[in-house]
Amino acid sequence: MEYHGFAGQILYIDLTNRDIRKEPLGENLIRDYIGGMGINTKLAFDLIEPGIDPLSPKNVICYGSGPFVGTTIPGCSRAGIITKSPLTGLLGESQTGVSIGPMLKYAGYDHLVISGRAEKPVYLAITDDDVEIRDAEGLWGKDVYETTDLIRAELGDYWVSCIGPAGEKLVRFANIVENKSGMIARVGLGAVMGSKNLKAIAVRGTKGITVSQRGKFRKMVKELREKVAASPVLDMWRNEGKVIDYYIGQYAKRGISVTKNFSEGIPEATDVYFTQKEYAKRIWKNYFACMSCPAGDKGIVSIQGGKYDGLTFKISNPWGTPLTFNQAGIRNWDDGVQCTYLSDIYGMDSFSSAIMIGFATELYKNGIISKEDTGGLELDWSADAAFKLMEKIARREDIGDILADGVKAASERIGKGAEEHAVHVKGLEPTMDLRSEHFTENFGQLVDPRGAHHARGYSITYVPRKGKSIKNYAPLIGIPEAAIDQICPESELDTNNWSKPRLLKWVNDYNSMSYSCGQCMRVQIGPQYTLDIYRDLFYATTGIEMSSEELQKAGERIWNLQRLFNVREGASRKDDMPPHKMLNEALVVGEKKYPPLNEKHINELLDDYYDERGWDKDTGNPTMETLKRLDLEEEGRSVLEKKS
């Protein structure tokens, strides 16, 4: 088979017996799962035995990027991993736009599958056809920046993905960091690398990725680039944190972004503590971009003056991440940036770190843990306590050893009511509160296969929309007319009361399809693409003809197979419920008070979601009828028949 868009091979590496083999990428796999995240899903489903310990040699890391990655298609640099998550015990999925995926393709591999465990620390050096397992004992213990620099000093201009001390210590929310700033984050995939004694992957490829229809490809890319360049929000996202007042500020005012372990809203966040004016003057240095992206919404920060004068580094989300540390009580840019820096060099998820500090401080204030547990550290919402606790977690010292297992496991181990303070869905902490309002992104956190994750619920509903807007938007992502009427009946054309769960189903499928191509869904990029554009671009790139319906069905197949992975591990409808705190405590946001979530109402919304999906309402499992329609009969039987 002649490959366009794809490199055409899967590279398998078993670290236990140092076995390296290569297999061609099958066309059926592409047709059924597109590429990237989709094919990673199928590989993980087939290769990971049910019930294994995610940190055992039996776990398998499935890395890969889709057919658009490594080309000039605007915003198509996403690559990522699927494995079994040590944080959730379920499907661990994560990806980044600053990835080594393109270089892996230039070396000849769309996917990299790593199994087993090396006897001693190693790293992989992949140079086209030459794949080496090299000694990494000198790198063990080094932080993310040091590791990357040392490998480049040894090998030259390689793209590097690595773990820091947190991954080595098996912190269950350790990241994998790509080219020093791309975070494969949230669900502890760095710990899976650590458990395999795999410190890093370095790659350099001299081959090229071709496309099938050069003329059509060039024309489509030009049109898309022009559309992105004309986006009215481009400057706001790119320069000087101008987006702070609009996006983050609005989320704080609307009670979506909250503080101190989800205890209260912080409507004044960007008016008083994290102002754009100060950010532009003292923190922001320049933009940078993911490969092939005209948006450029990543940032280089460089603090001018104060305690951390001169601290300069790259951050994927240069305003959002520092501000996230308000969950740990941080109320200024300087300390937020320093916390981000520490989490980055330890190779530890910044959001989970922030929540973990907030969670531990709340336990401390409520007398559930004491100075005896913390090694004498007073948890008082101060920056100093945050820095020290992060270090304890990264090194698994004192209470850090317990907290390093994540909020769910830590709360169960601590007991004494700590579970009620642990805010998570399936073990992963949400990034958005659900008490003040619902839209597809925040509601999507309940049903996402990786736990409380918002991104694959992304749609135009991040600002409240009337039914009319939904009716205009829905056909662009391929929602059929009958489904549109179910999502938005005539009576709701002028309200925001149309069905979020029913729209979410289609959005999840669409985003699964686009992620599998390698595409980013951010606001400056995503809306420029429609399902029909994907169809045309997929053909121009790969030469493989797939209809819009087939692409959409592949997205739905990917989502369902991810659900089946979780069902196989024992997850069910009960795991889609919101955290205890959101069901039992009101949320105060300035002068507004939002009541706790109503369990009956949430159940009704979940019923609608399962109904739209063709899933069983009692169990939350995909029905055999749905799985047959998606050509997943065999996979379905292997899981559901064992259950019954």
Partner 1 sequence: MGEKKKTRFKEIKTHPEKCSACISCQLACSFAYAKSFNPIKSRIILNYIGDIEREISFSDDCIKCGICADHCNYGAIEAVAWSD
* Interface residue list for partner 1 (CB under 8 A): 70-72, 106, 180, 204-211, 225, 228-229, 285-294, 296, 300, 312, 314
Least distance (Å) between residue 601 CB and partner 1: 44
Least distance (Å) between residue 294 CB and partner 1: 4
Least distance (Å) between residue 331 CB and partner 1: 28
Rounded to whole angstroms, how far apart are CA atoms 273 and 259? 13
Query: CB under 8 Å to 30, separation ≥6 — which residues?
Result: 6, 39, 67, 542, 544
Least distance (Å) between residue 50 CB and partner 1: 39
Closer residue to partner 1, CB minimum distance, 229 or 463: 229
Rounded to whole angstroms, how far apart are CA atoms 108 and 119? 27
Least distance (Å) between residue 131 CB and partner 1: 18
Is the distance from CB of 281 to CB of 301 less than 8 angstroms?
A: no
Closer residue to partner 1, CB minimum distance, 287 or 308: 287
Closer residue to partner 1, CB minimum distance, 133 or 311: 311
Q: CA 470 → CA 191, 414, 439, 495, distances in Å?
A: 41, 45, 12, 11
Query: Measuring CA to CA, which residue among 203, 57, 200 is closest to residue 121?
Result: 200
Least distance (Å) between residue 206 CB and partner 1: 6
Least distance (Å) between residue 221 CB and partner 1: 9
Closer residue to partner 1, CB minimum distance, 290 or 354: 290
Closer residue to partner 1, CB minimum distance, 459 or 519: 519
> Token pair of 306, please?
């104060």
Closer residue to partner 1, CB minimum distance, 206 or 644: 206
Closer residue to partner 1, CB minimum distance, 52 or 300: 300
Least distance (Å) between residue 288 CB and partner 1: 5
Query: Measuring CA to CA, which residue among 621, 619, 579 is closest to residue 602?
Result: 579
Q: CA 280 → CA 266, 283, 284, 299, 316, distances in Å?
A: 21, 6, 5, 12, 17
Least distance (Å) between residue 227 CB and partner 1: 12
Query: Measuring CA to CA, which residue among 558, 520, 545 is closest to residue 40?
Result: 558
Closer residue to partner 1, CB minimum distance, 311 or 583: 311
Closer residue to partner 1, CB minimum distance, 301 or 354: 301
Rounded to whole angstroms, how far apart are CA atoms 29 and 127? 26
Within a 13 Å sphere around the CA of 601, how many CA atoms are in the beta-carbon half? 12
Is the distance from CB of 358 to CB of 369 less than 8 angstroms?
A: no
Output the DSSP codes for 606-622: HHHHHHHHTB-TTT-PB
Output the DSSP codes for 497-555: -S-HHHHHHHHHHHHHHHHHHT----TTTGGG--HHHHHHHHHHHH-----HHHHHHHH
Least distance (Å) between residue 36 CB and partner 1: 16
Closer residue to partner 1, CB minimum distance, 312 or 584: 312
3-state SS string over 153-188?
HHHCCCEEEECCHHHHCCCCCECEEECCCEEECCCC
Angle at which helices 350-365 and 383-395 cross, to 10° = 110
Rounded to whole angstroms, how far apart are CA atoms 612 and 457? 15
Least distance (Å) between residue 296 CB and partner 1: 4
Closer residue to partner 1, CB minimum distance, 299 or 578: 299
User: How many Cβ atoms sit within 10 Å of the Cβ of residue 154?
Assistant: 14
Phi, psi torsion values for 288, nearest 5 degrees: -145, 170
Tally of residues, the chain: 644
Query: Measuring CA to CA, which residue among 499, 625, 604 is closest to residue 560?
Result: 625
Closer residue to partner 1, CB minimum distance, 289 or 493: 289
Least distance (Å) between residue 394 CB and partner 1: 22
> Token pair of 521, please?
């869904």
The three-class DSSP label of residue 304 is coil
Least distance (Å) between residue 534 CB and partner 1: 19
Least distance (Å) between residue 441 CB and partner 1: 26
Phi, psi torsion values for 55, nearest 5 degrees: -100, 15
Report which residue type is found at 408: K
Rounded to whole angstroms, how far apart are CA atoms 8 and 345? 34
Residue for token digits 């007319």?
481
Closer residue to partner 1, CB minimum distance, 195 or 524: 524
Closer residue to partner 1, CB minimum distance, 38 or 70: 70
Least distance (Å) between residue 68 CB and partner 1: 11
Query: Measuring CA to CA, which residue among 107, 68, 21 is closest to residue 544?
Result: 68
Closer residue to partner 1, CB minimum distance, 2 or 591: 2
